[in-house]
Amino acid sequence: MLFDKSATEKRIQSLAREFKYEGHTWGTIANYAEVPVFLDSKATRLLQLADLAAYSIFRQYEAKDNSFFSEICDCFDSEGGIKHGLYVKE
């Protein structure tokens, strides 16, 4: 998980530790690879790109606005008509 630098960094780090060691409603996670990473979005364009991709997906499914999503929808890996890396609950 990548986050932009913010005042809530300590709280999110604490929540991540609780989630890792204490679990959640459905149990615990056996393969928790990494803690959240905080970066300054002014220092890395990739974080800005991730923000744009997340926003386009959000707009598609929450506001039924595909003006941004239509630009990236073919970038998801797919095989046999099934997209990988994007889960849509229907």
> d(Cα 48, Cα 57) in Å, to the nearest integer?
14
pLDDT of residue 13: 85
What is the pLDDT, as a whole number, of residue 62?
Answer: 93
User: Which pLDDT belongs to residue 55?
Assistant: 93
Global pTM reads 0.57
Dihedral sign from CA coordinates of 28, 54, 85, 39: negative
The reported pLDDT for the residue numbered 8 is: 85
pLDDT block averages, 10 residues each, the chain of length 90: 80 83 78 75 82 91 92 85 72
Task: Yes or no: say if 38 and 3 are a contact pair by the CB < 8 Å rule.
Answer: yes
Two structure tokens written together for 26: 């459905």
List of long-range contacts for 58-61, beta carbons under 8 Å, 24+ apart: 61/88
pLDDT score at 74:
84
